[in-house]
Amino acid sequence: MGVAGLRWDGSRWPWPVYGIEDEDRWGYRDLPQIWQQFTHGEGGILFSVWDPGRCFETVELDLHGCRRWGYFAVDAENIHGTLSGPAADAIRAYERVLAYGEWGSRVLRPLRQAPVPYLPHGLDLGTWQPVRGAPRRMVGCVAANQARKDLGLLFAAWKEMREADPSLLFWLHTDLQVTAAWSIPQLAEDFGFNTKEGGLIVTTNLRDEELAGLYSQCLVTIAPGLGEGFGYPIVESLACGTPVVHGEYGGGAELIPRAWQVDLWAERIEGAYALKRPVYAASSVADMALGLVKAMRENGAVMQAACRGMVAHLDWRALWPRWSSWFRGSN
C-alpha cells in the first residue's frame, strides 16, 4: 500500500507516501513513476479518493497491470440527475466504483448501468465529542474558502441572526482568509463583523481536539456548501452535540433531519459541465438556525444526545467491517 498526495510528507503513516510535484495537473505527470516504483512492474490497484472529474487522466495513463477502483465524491448533478463530460468518462472506465452516500449512488448509477454501492466516511467519536462544561454561545461554521462554500450567504444569515439576538457570538474556521473565491476580511467589513463588537472569531490551523472544543461552544453550526459529497464538518459538529443547518441538496442533506434542512429558493446551472447548484435565502438560513438556538437553550441535553445519536453509526469501530467487506469483495 502506498499513498500519493499534494504537499503530504506522510510521516504519520506506516506505509510509503510519495510526494508529487505536478500540482497543475493534479499529479498525473508524477503518477507513472510512482506506480513503477511501488509496484515494481507487477501491477496492482489504483484506489482514487477524489472528485471524479479530477480522475479522468488516470484513465488515460499507461500504468502496467493497473486495476482502477474509485471512491468518488459527488457534490452535484446535471439536469438529468447524473454527470457528463470527463467525470462521466472516468466513472465508466473504473473497474469498481464506490459512492459516499445514497445520493451519490443515485447520481452515479446511470453511468454504470447498475446499482452503485456506497459507504460513508468514519470518524473517531472519542475525539469528536462534547467538551463538558463548555459555554454554548456561538454560531459556528467550518468550511474551506472556495467557491462551492457560499460564505456570502453565511455572513448575510449571520447578520440577520445578530440583529435578532445580539448576545450571539460567531465563529468561522477556514483554511485561508483570502482566496480567489472569498475575502473573509471583506465579508466581515461588509456585514459589520470587523469590529470588536461584531462578535466574530476566525480560526485556521487547529488540531482536532481544539476544533472539538470550539464545536462544543456552539449552539448551532451552519454548513454553507452548495453541494457536498459527504461533509465532515457536519458530522464533526453533530458528534460534539451541536445541531447543523444545511440545505436540501447533495449528500450532506442525508446526514441531518429534514426539519433542519433549508428549502431551495432557486437553482442555477454553472460551469463547463452544466452542474446544478442550489440558491438559498439568507433569511431562511437565519430563521432555521435561530430555531435550533432556541431548542438548544431550552432542551440542551436532549438535543446534544440526539445529535450524537445521528452519527453513532459512523464511528470507525462500527464502520470498519463494512469497509473491510467492500475491499475484500469483487463487485
Helix/strand number for the chain, H first, E second: 11, 13
- Under 8 Å CB-to-CB from 66, ≥6 apart: which residues? 35, 43, 44, 45, 46
C-alpha cell at 234: 457536519
Instruction: Say if residue 258's pLDDT is above 70.
Output: yes
User: What would the pLDDT profile of 55-83 be if each residue is shown by its tens digit?
Assistant: 888 888 889 999 999 999 999 999 999 99
Instruction: Say if residue 320's pLDDT is above 90.
Output: yes
C-alpha cell at 299: 432542551
Give ∠ CA 32-36-38 in degrees, rounded to 5: 115
Fold of 138-314: Rossmann fold (3.40.50)
- Under 8 Å CB-to-CB from 245, ≥6 apart: which residues? 220, 221, 222, 223, 260, 261, 262, 285, 288, 289, 292
pLDDT category, 330, cuts 50, 70, 90? low
CA distance 313 to 105: 19
Instruction: Say if residue 1's pLDDT is above 60.
Output: no
CA distance 35 to 57: 14
User: Phi first, then psi: what are they for 12, rounded to 5°?
Assistant: -80, -20
pLDDT value at position 39?
86
DSSP code, position 248? S
H/E element, 229: none
CA torsion sign for 168, 169, 174, 178 is positive
* Domain map (residue ranges) of the chain: 3-118, 138-314
Question: Of how many residues is the chain composed?
Answer: 331
User: What would the pLDDT profile of 90-111 be if each residue is shown by its tens digit?
Assistant: 999 999 999 999 999 999 999 9
pLDDT category, 33, cuts 50, 70, 90? confident
pLDDT value at position 197?
82
CA distance 233 to 223: 8
End-to-end CA distance of the chain: 21
How far is CA 303 from each of CA 116, 240, 309, rounded to the nearest angstrom?
34, 11, 10
Which conformational region is residue 44 in: left (phi greater than 0), alpha (psi within -120 to 50 degrees), or beta?
Answer: left
C-alpha cell at 99: 459512492
